[in-house]
Structure 1
Amino acid sequence: MSRRADGRSRATTLPPGSISSHDEHGASIGVMCEMTIEIDKISLHAPDGYNVVVETPKGSRSKFAFDPETGLFRAKKLLAMGFAFPFPFGFFPSTKAEDADPLDVLLVTDADLPTGSLVRCRLLGGIAMEETKEGKAVRNDRLLAVPLLLHQDRPPFELSDMPAAELKDIEDFLVAYQTVDGKQAKVVGRLDRTEAESVVRKAAQP
């Protein structure tokens, strides 16, 4: 209950899983939510496509990564000067790639999608990549998808629908932003939509 200016009481409705904080006079001063969102339990599949969780927004120099222990998105690193993510970067929930992390994906869109957004997407294809970890070459493909949003201006349906120069820019970025950090990464090919679908199916977790 909270107190109105005329001294009468009124009921206060709180979200499920929340508790109310009060000052020394008993007045409500806010709500603290105890609810935890478990992203790893979000379904991979969505109507006509897949779910994607956005970690890093388009244009950001800061790279964010979901931390399953806290349920928050951790600021993982700052890209070198002059680098920024060309598109929103995230992952497919309920997947595990060869590097043991969720499967990466770039969302080809002009939409502003903040960290933590859950977006329904359609696969376009992917960039086949290899990274060297502990002296061993590991595949770490970056898939490309397009959000299924209203009022999008003629989104591509296949990787081949994208301008060649734009695809080359994406490949150069994916290699360069890791190379400046001393990592070894290289593009080893491209994946069409059928091949990308196969990668997602292989990475899907029960």
Structure 2
Amino acid sequence: MPMDPTFPVYIEIEKGGLIKYEYDKDEGKLVVDRVMPASHPYPYAYGFFPSTLGSDGDELDALIIRNSDGIKNDTTYNAYIIGALVMEDEHGMDEKVLCVLGEDYGRMGDIDVLSEDIKKTIETFFSTYKLNIPGKWSKTYGYISKNKAYDLYVEALIRYSAAT
């Protein structure tokens, strides 16, 4: 059975990270955005697809789902898209595309096979990670399929291309 294509994902924050980094294009490096509460670590490695533009005007966000550690920040990985969490924040729609690495693709190659625990962990994190930050909020709306997540990626590529 042929596998789906992979896409580059640049990781800003490692699984379990409490420091929210963002990539500063002008400086060409990661900079600290804020420190998360100790009770609120990132559930999975978090970053973005380079050369994309999401609905919120930033790069399209991505998480790499992996049970073990080992995915390091400031590194780009080739990952498979398996679905997405639909969410919104104070800047507009801010979907999080879920991905896996090649060694996990066989058992987690589609959002439909992710455990409810994994999905709940991700959704809970993103629905609460901006609590107690003045002027910021987030709301989640559930998950979409792999094909719809691909569509988000293609739209983000087109948006980026039109803007550059």
TM-score bracket relative to the smaller structure: 0.7 to 0.9
1:123 equivalent among 70, 81, 96: 81
Q: TM-score, structure 2 length as denominator?
A: 0.87
SS at structure 1 position matched to 2:90? strand
1:153-189: CA deviation from partner (whole Å, max 9, x where unpaired): 9540110111112201110001111123242211123
The aligned residue for residue 81 of structure 1 is: 38
Post-superposition Cα deviations, 1:184-206, rounded to whole Å, max 9, x if no partner, equal 21112311000000000000033
* Rg (Cα) greater in structure: 1
Name the % identity: 22
1:96-135 alignment runs, 5 A limit: 96-109=53-66, 110-133=68-91
Find the counterpart in structure 1 of residue 9 from structure 2.
52
Cα distance in 2, alignment partners of residues 115 and 155 from structure 1: 24
- 5+ unaligned residues in a row in structure 2: which ranges? none
User: Is 1:158 aligned with 2:110?
Assistant: yes
> Cα distance, 1:79 vs. partner?
0.5
Q: Give RMSD over aligned pairs.
A: 1.7
Name stretches of at least 5 consecutive residues in structure 1 with no aligned partner: 1-46
Which structure has the higher relative contact order (CA within 8 Å, separation 6+)?
A: 2
Please say which of residues 108-117 and 168-177 is displaced more in the overlay.
108-117
Matched, 1:188 2:141: yes
Which portions of structure 1, spanning 4 or more consecutive aligned residues, are displaced by more than 6 angstroms? none
- Partners of 1:85 and 1:142 lie apart in 2 by 13
* CA distance in structure 2 between the partners assigned to 1:90 and 1:115 by the alignment: 8
Q: 1:148 and 2:102 equivalent?
A: yes
Structure 1 or 2: more helix by fraction: 2
Aligned residues: 154
In the superposition, the TM-score normalised over structure 1's length comes to 0.70
